[in-house]
Amino acid sequence: MKLFIYTLLKIICIIIPLLIAIAYMTLAERKVMAAIQRRKGPNVVGIFGLLQPLADGLKLFVKETILPSSANLNIFILSPILTFLLALISWSVLPITEGSALSDLNIGVLYLLAISSLGVYGIIMSGWSSNSKYAFLGALRSTAQMVSYEVSIGLILINVLLCVGSLNFSEIILAQGQIWFIIPLFPIFLLFYISILAETNRAPFDLPEAEAELVAGYNVEYSAMGFALFFLGEYANMILMCGLTTILFFGGWLPPLNFVLFYWIPPSVWFGLKTTFLLFGFIWVRSSFPRYRYDQLMRLGWKIFLPLSLGWVFFISSLLVTLNWLYY
Protein backbone atom coordinates (compact mmCIF):
# COMPACT_ATOMS: atom_id res chain seq x y z
CA MET A 1 0.00 0.00 0.00
CA LYS A 2 2.84 2.38 0.89
CA LEU A 3 4.53 1.61 -2.43
CA PHE A 4 1.28 2.34 -4.29
CA ILE A 5 0.82 5.71 -2.52
CA TYR A 6 4.49 6.61 -3.15
CA THR A 7 4.17 5.76 -6.86
CA LEU A 8 0.91 7.73 -7.11
CA LEU A 9 2.53 10.79 -5.52
CA LYS A 10 5.45 10.48 -7.94
CA ILE A 11 3.03 10.34 -10.90
CA ILE A 12 1.19 13.44 -9.59
CA CYS A 13 4.53 15.26 -9.14
CA ILE A 14 5.30 14.60 -12.83
CA ILE A 15 1.84 15.32 -14.32
CA ILE A 16 0.89 18.55 -12.49
CA PRO A 17 4.13 20.49 -13.30
CA LEU A 18 3.89 19.18 -16.87
CA LEU A 19 0.32 20.47 -17.30
CA ILE A 20 1.34 23.86 -15.85
CA ALA A 21 4.33 23.92 -18.23
CA ILE A 22 2.05 23.13 -21.19
CA ALA A 23 -0.38 25.91 -20.21
CA TYR A 24 2.33 28.54 -19.89
CA MET A 25 4.15 27.28 -22.98
CA THR A 26 1.13 28.46 -24.99
CA LEU A 27 1.39 31.89 -23.36
CA ALA A 28 5.16 32.05 -23.90
CA GLU A 29 4.67 31.16 -27.56
CA ARG A 30 2.13 33.91 -28.09
CA LYS A 31 4.26 36.47 -26.22
CA VAL A 32 7.52 35.62 -28.02
CA MET A 33 5.83 35.54 -31.44
CA ALA A 34 4.20 38.90 -30.65
CA ALA A 35 7.60 40.38 -29.72
CA ILE A 36 9.21 39.04 -32.92
CA GLN A 37 6.32 40.42 -35.02
CA ARG A 38 6.34 43.77 -33.14
CA ARG A 39 2.97 43.54 -31.41
CA LYS A 40 1.81 43.17 -27.80
CA GLY A 41 0.39 39.66 -27.49
CA PRO A 42 -2.01 38.61 -24.67
CA ASN A 43 -2.03 41.33 -21.98
CA VAL A 44 -5.64 41.67 -20.79
CA VAL A 45 -6.44 38.63 -18.61
CA GLY A 46 -4.40 39.03 -15.41
CA ILE A 47 -1.17 41.00 -14.94
CA PHE A 48 0.80 40.94 -18.23
CA GLY A 49 -1.71 38.34 -19.49
CA LEU A 50 -0.49 35.68 -17.01
CA LEU A 51 -4.00 34.27 -16.51
CA GLN A 52 -4.65 33.87 -20.26
CA PRO A 53 -3.88 30.10 -20.33
CA LEU A 54 -6.36 29.51 -17.48
CA ALA A 55 -9.03 31.53 -19.33
CA ASP A 56 -8.39 29.56 -22.54
CA GLY A 57 -8.60 26.24 -20.65
CA LEU A 58 -11.86 27.28 -18.95
CA LYS A 59 -13.35 28.38 -22.28
CA LEU A 60 -12.57 25.00 -23.89
CA PHE A 61 -13.85 23.14 -20.82
CA VAL A 62 -17.29 24.82 -20.78
CA LYS A 63 -17.84 24.78 -24.56
CA GLU A 64 -20.37 22.36 -26.00
CA THR A 65 -18.85 19.16 -27.37
CA ILE A 66 -20.15 18.67 -30.93
CA LEU A 67 -20.11 15.10 -32.23
CA PRO A 68 -20.51 14.78 -36.04
CA SER A 69 -23.55 12.68 -36.96
CA SER A 70 -21.61 10.63 -39.55
CA ALA A 71 -18.57 9.97 -37.30
CA ASN A 72 -17.65 6.64 -35.70
CA LEU A 73 -18.28 8.00 -32.20
CA ASN A 74 -16.38 5.47 -30.08
CA ILE A 75 -13.11 5.89 -32.01
CA PHE A 76 -13.77 9.63 -32.46
CA ILE A 77 -13.94 10.14 -28.68
CA LEU A 78 -11.08 7.72 -27.90
CA SER A 79 -8.54 9.30 -30.30
CA PRO A 80 -7.74 12.56 -28.40
CA ILE A 81 -7.67 10.66 -25.08
CA LEU A 82 -5.17 8.17 -26.52
CA THR A 83 -2.98 10.96 -27.96
CA PHE A 84 -2.89 12.82 -24.64
CA LEU A 85 -2.26 9.72 -22.50
CA LEU A 86 0.63 8.58 -24.71
CA ALA A 87 2.19 12.04 -24.38
CA LEU A 88 2.01 11.72 -20.57
CA ILE A 89 3.19 8.09 -20.39
CA SER A 90 6.39 8.98 -22.27
CA TRP A 91 7.54 11.09 -19.30
CA SER A 92 7.78 8.06 -17.00
CA VAL A 93 11.35 7.21 -18.13
CA LEU A 94 12.83 10.72 -18.42
CA PRO A 95 15.01 11.69 -15.41
CA ILE A 96 14.86 15.42 -14.60
CA THR A 97 17.30 14.93 -11.72
CA GLU A 98 19.29 11.89 -10.63
CA GLY A 99 16.89 9.15 -9.50
CA SER A 100 13.75 11.21 -10.24
CA ALA A 101 12.46 9.06 -13.14
CA LEU A 102 9.27 7.16 -12.34
CA SER A 103 10.83 4.05 -13.88
CA ASP A 104 14.56 4.14 -14.59
CA LEU A 105 14.46 1.45 -17.28
CA ASN A 106 17.64 0.01 -18.74
CA ILE A 107 15.88 0.08 -22.12
CA GLY A 108 14.45 3.60 -21.65
CA VAL A 109 15.33 4.71 -25.19
CA LEU A 110 13.50 1.72 -26.72
CA TYR A 111 10.48 2.42 -24.50
CA LEU A 112 10.36 6.05 -25.64
CA LEU A 113 10.65 5.07 -29.32
CA ALA A 114 7.83 2.53 -28.89
CA ILE A 115 5.49 5.05 -27.21
CA SER A 116 6.24 7.77 -29.80
CA SER A 117 5.45 5.26 -32.57
CA LEU A 118 2.07 4.53 -30.96
CA GLY A 119 1.25 8.26 -31.12
CA VAL A 120 0.55 7.79 -34.84
CA TYR A 121 -2.53 5.69 -34.00
CA GLY A 122 -4.35 8.54 -32.21
CA ILE A 123 -3.94 10.77 -35.26
CA ILE A 124 -4.92 8.20 -37.91
CA MET A 125 -7.92 7.10 -35.79
CA SER A 126 -9.13 10.70 -35.41
CA GLY A 127 -8.88 11.39 -39.15
CA TRP A 128 -10.61 8.16 -40.17
CA SER A 129 -13.38 8.26 -37.53
CA SER A 130 -14.31 11.88 -38.39
CA ASN A 131 -15.64 10.66 -41.77
CA SER A 132 -14.42 13.89 -43.39
CA LYS A 133 -12.10 14.02 -46.39
CA TYR A 134 -10.18 17.00 -44.95
CA ALA A 135 -9.60 15.30 -41.60
CA PHE A 136 -8.62 12.03 -43.28
CA LEU A 137 -6.14 13.69 -45.67
CA GLY A 138 -4.65 15.62 -42.72
CA ALA A 139 -4.29 12.39 -40.74
CA LEU A 140 -2.58 10.63 -43.67
CA ARG A 141 -0.17 13.51 -44.11
CA SER A 142 0.63 13.66 -40.42
CA THR A 143 1.14 9.89 -40.15
CA ALA A 144 3.44 9.79 -43.19
CA GLN A 145 5.41 12.74 -41.81
CA MET A 146 5.83 11.22 -38.33
CA VAL A 147 6.84 7.79 -39.67
CA SER A 148 9.34 9.38 -42.10
CA TYR A 149 11.15 11.41 -39.46
CA GLU A 150 11.03 8.69 -36.78
CA VAL A 151 13.45 6.72 -38.98
CA SER A 152 15.98 9.60 -38.88
CA ILE A 153 15.46 10.10 -35.13
CA GLY A 154 16.11 6.39 -34.51
CA LEU A 155 19.34 6.45 -36.52
CA ILE A 156 20.53 9.63 -34.79
CA LEU A 157 19.82 8.03 -31.39
CA ILE A 158 22.03 5.09 -32.38
CA ASN A 159 25.01 7.49 -32.66
CA VAL A 160 24.56 8.63 -29.06
CA LEU A 161 23.98 5.04 -27.87
CA LEU A 162 27.20 3.90 -29.57
CA CYS A 163 29.13 6.59 -27.67
CA VAL A 164 27.55 5.64 -24.31
CA GLY A 165 27.05 1.89 -24.63
CA SER A 166 23.72 1.95 -22.78
CA LEU A 167 19.99 2.49 -23.41
CA ASN A 168 19.49 3.97 -19.92
CA PHE A 169 18.80 7.73 -19.86
CA SER A 170 20.59 8.28 -16.52
CA GLU A 171 23.74 6.61 -17.87
CA ILE A 172 23.55 8.72 -21.04
CA ILE A 173 23.54 11.87 -18.86
CA LEU A 174 26.35 10.68 -16.58
CA ALA A 175 28.48 9.82 -19.64
CA GLN A 176 28.50 13.58 -20.40
CA GLY A 177 30.23 14.48 -17.12
CA GLN A 178 33.34 15.78 -18.88
CA ILE A 179 31.85 17.12 -22.13
CA TRP A 180 28.31 17.46 -23.47
CA PHE A 181 27.63 15.48 -26.63
CA ILE A 182 26.56 18.63 -28.51
CA ILE A 183 30.27 19.56 -28.90
CA PRO A 184 31.59 16.38 -30.60
CA LEU A 185 28.23 15.53 -32.21
CA PHE A 186 27.07 19.02 -33.28
CA PRO A 187 26.02 18.05 -36.87
CA ILE A 188 23.97 15.18 -35.43
CA PHE A 189 22.32 17.60 -32.99
CA LEU A 190 21.22 19.83 -35.90
CA LEU A 191 19.73 16.83 -37.73
CA PHE A 192 17.96 15.72 -34.55
CA TYR A 193 16.54 19.18 -33.78
CA ILE A 194 15.10 19.61 -37.28
CA SER A 195 13.72 16.04 -37.12
CA ILE A 196 11.88 16.68 -33.84
CA LEU A 197 10.33 19.81 -35.38
CA ALA A 198 8.89 17.57 -38.11
CA GLU A 199 8.01 14.77 -35.66
CA THR A 200 5.89 17.13 -33.53
CA ASN A 201 4.21 18.69 -36.62
CA ARG A 202 5.63 22.13 -35.82
CA ALA A 203 6.34 24.96 -38.25
CA PRO A 204 7.84 25.01 -40.83
CA PHE A 205 6.70 21.36 -41.07
CA ASP A 206 3.08 21.85 -39.89
CA LEU A 207 1.72 20.41 -43.14
CA PRO A 208 -1.22 18.52 -41.55
CA GLU A 209 -2.62 21.94 -40.54
CA ALA A 210 -2.17 23.67 -43.90
CA GLU A 211 -5.23 25.94 -43.61
CA ALA A 212 -5.41 26.74 -47.32
CA GLU A 213 -5.70 23.05 -48.27
CA LEU A 214 -7.04 21.06 -45.30
CA VAL A 215 -8.77 23.65 -43.05
CA ALA A 216 -7.13 22.37 -39.82
CA GLY A 217 -5.94 18.84 -40.53
CA TYR A 218 -6.90 15.74 -38.57
CA ASN A 219 -8.61 17.65 -35.72
CA VAL A 220 -10.91 19.77 -37.90
CA GLU A 221 -14.10 18.06 -36.60
CA TYR A 222 -13.14 18.38 -32.92
CA SER A 223 -14.33 21.04 -30.49
CA ALA A 224 -14.18 21.76 -26.76
CA MET A 225 -12.24 19.13 -24.74
CA GLY A 226 -11.53 16.89 -27.75
CA PHE A 227 -9.62 19.73 -29.40
CA ALA A 228 -8.04 20.68 -26.05
CA LEU A 229 -6.66 17.16 -25.54
CA PHE A 230 -5.04 17.18 -29.00
CA PHE A 231 -3.63 20.62 -28.22
CA LEU A 232 -2.27 19.45 -24.83
CA GLY A 233 -0.82 16.32 -26.45
CA GLU A 234 1.01 18.36 -29.10
CA TYR A 235 2.59 20.70 -26.54
CA ALA A 236 3.41 17.81 -24.17
CA ASN A 237 5.25 16.14 -27.08
CA MET A 238 7.12 19.37 -27.79
CA ILE A 239 8.34 19.61 -24.19
CA LEU A 240 9.12 15.87 -24.19
CA MET A 241 11.25 16.12 -27.34
CA CYS A 242 13.13 19.15 -25.99
CA GLY A 243 13.68 17.27 -22.70
CA LEU A 244 14.99 14.30 -24.70
CA THR A 245 17.36 16.63 -26.62
CA THR A 246 18.57 18.02 -23.29
CA ILE A 247 19.36 14.49 -22.09
CA LEU A 248 21.06 13.36 -25.31
CA PHE A 249 23.12 16.44 -26.17
CA PHE A 250 23.15 18.91 -23.25
CA GLY A 251 24.04 16.66 -20.32
CA GLY A 252 20.58 16.58 -18.69
CA TRP A 253 20.84 17.96 -15.16
CA LEU A 254 24.66 18.37 -15.30
CA PRO A 255 26.13 21.92 -15.23
CA PRO A 256 28.40 23.13 -18.08
CA LEU A 257 31.72 21.23 -18.14
CA ASN A 258 30.90 20.00 -14.61
CA PHE A 259 32.30 23.23 -13.09
CA VAL A 260 32.16 23.33 -9.27
CA LEU A 261 31.19 27.01 -9.59
CA PHE A 262 27.73 26.01 -10.92
CA TYR A 263 26.92 23.40 -8.26
CA TRP A 264 24.88 25.85 -6.15
CA ILE A 265 22.18 25.81 -8.88
CA PRO A 266 19.79 22.84 -8.35
CA PRO A 267 19.99 20.08 -11.04
CA SER A 268 16.28 20.43 -11.89
CA VAL A 269 16.88 24.14 -12.70
CA TRP A 270 19.66 23.20 -15.15
CA PHE A 271 17.35 20.71 -16.86
CA GLY A 272 14.54 23.29 -17.02
CA LEU A 273 16.78 26.06 -18.40
CA LYS A 274 18.15 23.86 -21.19
CA THR A 275 14.68 22.59 -22.14
CA THR A 276 13.29 26.16 -22.12
CA PHE A 277 16.13 27.30 -24.41
CA LEU A 278 15.27 24.53 -26.90
CA LEU A 279 11.54 25.37 -26.70
CA PHE A 280 12.38 29.00 -27.44
CA GLY A 281 14.04 27.69 -30.62
CA PHE A 282 10.73 26.02 -31.61
CA ILE A 283 8.92 29.37 -31.29
CA TRP A 284 11.69 31.29 -33.05
CA VAL A 285 11.63 28.89 -36.01
CA ARG A 286 7.83 29.17 -36.25
CA SER A 287 8.06 32.97 -36.34
CA SER A 288 10.86 33.09 -38.89
CA PHE A 289 10.40 30.44 -41.60
CA PRO A 290 7.65 29.86 -44.18
CA ARG A 291 5.87 26.50 -44.39
CA TYR A 292 7.42 23.77 -46.55
CA ARG A 293 5.53 22.18 -49.42
CA TYR A 294 4.61 18.54 -48.74
CA ASP A 295 6.89 17.13 -51.45
CA GLN A 296 9.78 19.22 -50.06
CA LEU A 297 9.12 17.82 -46.59
CA MET A 298 9.21 14.21 -47.79
CA ARG A 299 12.30 14.85 -49.95
CA LEU A 300 14.11 16.32 -46.93
CA GLY A 301 13.20 13.32 -44.77
CA TRP A 302 13.96 10.46 -47.16
CA LYS A 303 16.59 11.84 -49.57
CA ILE A 304 18.64 14.08 -47.24
CA PHE A 305 18.15 13.23 -43.56
CA LEU A 306 18.02 9.44 -43.93
CA PRO A 307 21.31 9.12 -45.90
CA LEU A 308 23.02 11.70 -43.65
CA SER A 309 21.96 10.03 -40.37
CA LEU A 310 22.88 6.58 -41.74
CA GLY A 311 26.26 7.93 -42.87
CA TRP A 312 26.90 9.31 -39.38
CA VAL A 313 26.13 5.88 -37.86
CA PHE A 314 28.81 4.32 -40.09
CA PHE A 315 31.26 7.12 -39.36
CA ILE A 316 30.81 7.10 -35.55
CA SER A 317 30.88 3.30 -35.30
CA SER A 318 34.03 3.03 -37.46
CA LEU A 319 35.69 5.84 -35.48
CA LEU A 320 34.92 4.14 -32.15
CA VAL A 321 36.21 0.77 -33.41
CA THR A 322 39.43 2.43 -34.65
CA LEU A 323 40.00 4.30 -31.37
CA ASN A 324 39.29 1.13 -29.39
CA TRP A 325 41.79 -0.82 -31.53
CA LEU A 326 44.47 1.88 -31.09
CA TYR A 327 43.87 2.04 -27.33
CA TYR A 328 44.22 -1.69 -26.78
**225-277 pLDDT, tens digit each:** 888 888 888 899 999 999 999 999 998 888 887 666 677 788 888 898 999 99
Q: Is the pLDDT of residue 214 over 60?
A: no
- pLDDT at position 189 is 93
For the chain, the distance separating the N- and C-terminal CA atoms, rounded to the nearest angstrom, is: 52
| Entry field: residues in the chain | 328
- pLDDT at position 156 is 92
Q: What integer is the mean pLDDT of 62-72?
A: 83
Helix, strand and coil percent figures for the chain, each rounded to 5: 75, 0, 25
Q: Is-contact 43 49, C-beta < 8 A?
A: yes
Q: Chain-wide mean pLDDT for the chain?
A: 86
Side-chain-side CA neighbours of 138 within 13 Å: the count stands at 28
- pLDDT at position 259 is 65
DSSP 255: P
Q: Is the pLDDT of residue 213 over 70?
A: no
Indicate the pTM of the whole model.
0.91
Q: Is the pLDDT of residue 207 over 80?
A: no
Q: Which residues contact 111 (CB under 8 A, 6 or more apart)?
A: 93, 105
Q: What is the radius of gyration, based on Cα positions, of the chain?
A: 21
Share of the chain above pLDDT 70, in %: 96
Which pLDDT band holds residue 208 (cuts at 50, 70, 90)?
Answer: low
Which pLDDT band holds residue 297 (cuts at 50, 70, 90)?
Answer: confident
Q: What integer is the mean pLDDT of 201-218?
A: 71
In Å, how far are 25, 55, 195, 196, 246 from 205, measured between CA atoms? 19, 29, 10, 10, 22
40 vs 261, higher pLDDT: 40
